[in-house]
């Protein structure tokens, strides 16, 4: 079964498996003890740290292992904000950061801190000028991912890091998605990553804090991992994580070329094979194996189930796949279509024939979902007296039904007339403007309504 969700978790690399099994026999003792078994465990831990530091491009004593990438982010942000409290209580993040960063920002804000959320362009990338403009005399820390988890867009980390360095502000980089592909360039100050993203075992993260960064570890003191990651080290998993990081980095250059060709094939052919599709994310500055697209008139969760039945494991940022029924914060920040969203993230070694079969299966899966959702449904339509306007009541109906019903009735008003869509689904705030852009209609704006919101669309043709 083709697994196309490597951005969530990459399959365990063969080197990781070998290292894990070997270290289960050799690395079970406490590396803090002085007897023979402890010394052997300490040697394995030190070797893993040195190997990981070499790949990252830092000193071994700057790197600690954590229980996850999320824990590394939380610890890095909290420790730096506490260490630089005298500088000020201002934090900068991008609007498309991983939830671990955004949740840390929310906690900081609730505790009285100030947070600036830097917007992104439609490609999902920030501008260096936006980060530079967000810097203040009281800025304690800035955060920026190296590449986006959902759409694969790479960020201008090196340039932002240089701007932050000149301002005397440390930059924390979430490198979870990119570290297996190459080093993070620029004068960054902190870095966090997660082993299961590059083919290591789950439950291992790493946090790098450069020398000179004021850092105060939070929580009860612990003598392990320089006091920055409490608890007994999962040594076999750490050894496997470091070994697999070296292995995937050695293979990265050749594999990146191959995967870029496959994802470019998907980016080019999906709009040819499936009508009414928006491919999102930067077309050039992107991770090698990630491609994301959204399909009009499609329920994202239903589409994922259809593709699963055909043997393909993919993910989605569509609101339909979320228990909160709200669109992905990344898609929302980008201002792109959220309904029917599919993220394909190819793991190293993905087969060309599997990509071709995916492209063969996708049109039928999308058509099937659209057919199910396009069946005649009761729609309350009321012509405004004396006006060339139509009201579509889509209250209580979830994505993509409001857009489908809009599409059905837009032809019933004359050119210049309007359709007023009533919806209480958060996704409509993204999907209706996106539909207008794709179909050549004018999105007039949003108005408050008794329930939900009213979205005004003017027919242009």
Average pLDDT of the chain? Answer: 92
pLDDT score, position 385: 42
pTM: 0.90
The string of pLDDT tens digits covering residues 1-45 is 799 999 999 999 999 999 999 999 888 998 989 999 999 999 999
pLDDT score, position 383: 46
The string of pLDDT tens digits covering residues 177-186 is 999 999 999 9
356 and 331 in contact (C-beta within 8 Å)?
A: no
pLDDT score, position 274: 94
Q: What is the dihedral of CA 37, 38, 44, 49, to 10 degrees?
A: 180
The string of pLDDT tens digits covering residues 416-460 is 999 999 999 888 999 999 999 999 999 999 999 888 999 999 999
Kindly tell me if the per-residue pLDDT of 391 is higher than 60: yes
Distance between CA atoms of residues 148 and 168, nearest Å: 25
Tokens representing 295 are 């399909």
Residues of 257-283 as b/e, b for ≥16 C-beta within 10 angstroms? ebbeebbeebbeebeeebebbbbbbbe
The string of pLDDT tens digits covering residues 314-335 is 998 765 555 555 788 999 999 9
pLDDT score, position 375: 33
pLDDT (mean) for 224-228: 78
Which of 306-320, 351-365, 377-391 bottoms out in mean pLDDT, i.e. has the lowest? 377-391
Helical H runs in 294-400? 300-309, 329-334, 352-373
- Catalytic member of 58, 143, 164, 320: 320
220 upstream amide cis, omega within 30 of 0: no
Kindly tell me if the per-residue pLDDT of 386 is higher than 70: no
Annotated active-site residue 320? The verdict is yes
Helix (H) or strand (E) holding 448: strand 442-448
The string of pLDDT tens digits covering residues 154-179 is 999 999 999 999 999 999 999 999 99
């Amino acid at each position: 079964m083709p697994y196309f969700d490597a951005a969530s978790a990459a399959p365990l690399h063969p080197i990781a498996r070998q290292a894990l099994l070997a270290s289960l026999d050799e690395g079970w003792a406490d590396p803090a003890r002085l007897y023979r078994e402890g010394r052997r465990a300490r040697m394995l831990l030190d070797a893993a740290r040195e190997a990981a530091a070499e790949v990252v491009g830092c000193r071994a004593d700057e790197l600690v292992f954590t229980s996850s990438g999320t824990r590394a982010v939380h610890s890095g942000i909290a420790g730096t904000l506490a260490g630089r409290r005298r500088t000020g209580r201002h934090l900068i993040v991008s609007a498309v950061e991983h939830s671990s960063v955004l949740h840390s920002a929310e906690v900081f804000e609730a505790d009285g801190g100030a947070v600036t959320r830097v917007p992104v362009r439609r490609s999902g990338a920030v501008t260096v000028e936006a980060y530079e403009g967000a810097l203040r005399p009281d800025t304690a820390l800035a955060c920026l991912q190296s590449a986006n988890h959902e759409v694969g867009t790479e960020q201008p980390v090196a340039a932002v890091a240089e701007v932050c360095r000149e301002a005397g502000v440390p930059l924390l980089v979430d490198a979870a998605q990119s570290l297996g592909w190459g080093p993070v360039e620029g004068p960054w100050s902190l870095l966090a990553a997660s082993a299961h993203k590059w083919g290591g075992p789950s439950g291992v993260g790493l946090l790098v804090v450069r020398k000179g960064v004021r850092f105060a570890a939070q929580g009860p003191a612990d003598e392990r991992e320089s006091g920055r990651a409490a608890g007994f080290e999962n040594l076999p998993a750490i050894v496997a994580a470091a070994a697999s990081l070296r292995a995937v980095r050695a293979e990265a250059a050749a594999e990146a070329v191959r995967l870029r060709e496959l994802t470019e094939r998907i980016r080019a052919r999906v709009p040819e094979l499936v009508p009414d599709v928006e491919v999102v994310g930067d077309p050039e500055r992107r991770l090698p194996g990630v491609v994301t697209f959204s399909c009009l008139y499609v329920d994202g969760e239903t589409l994922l189930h259809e593709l699963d039945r055909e043997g393909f494991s993919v993910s989605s940022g569509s609101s339909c796949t979320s228990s909160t029924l709200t669109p992905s914060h990344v898609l929302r920040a980008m201002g792109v279509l959220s309904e029917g969203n599919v993220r394909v993230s190819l793991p190293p070694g993905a087969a060309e024939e599997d990509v071709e079969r995916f492209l063969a299966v996708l049109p039928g899966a999308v058509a099937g979902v659209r057919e199910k959702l396009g069946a005649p449904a009761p729609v309350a339509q009321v012509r405004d007296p004396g006006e060339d306007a139509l009201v579509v009541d889509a209250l209580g109906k979830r994505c993509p039904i409001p857009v489908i019903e809009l599409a059905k009735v837009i032809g019933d008003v004359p050119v210049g007339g309007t359709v007023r869509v009533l919806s209480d689904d958060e996704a409509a705030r993204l999907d209706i403007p996106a539909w207008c852009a794709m179909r050549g209609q004018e999105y007039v704006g949003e108005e408050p309504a008794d329930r939900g919101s009213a979205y005004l669309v003017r027919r242009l043709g």
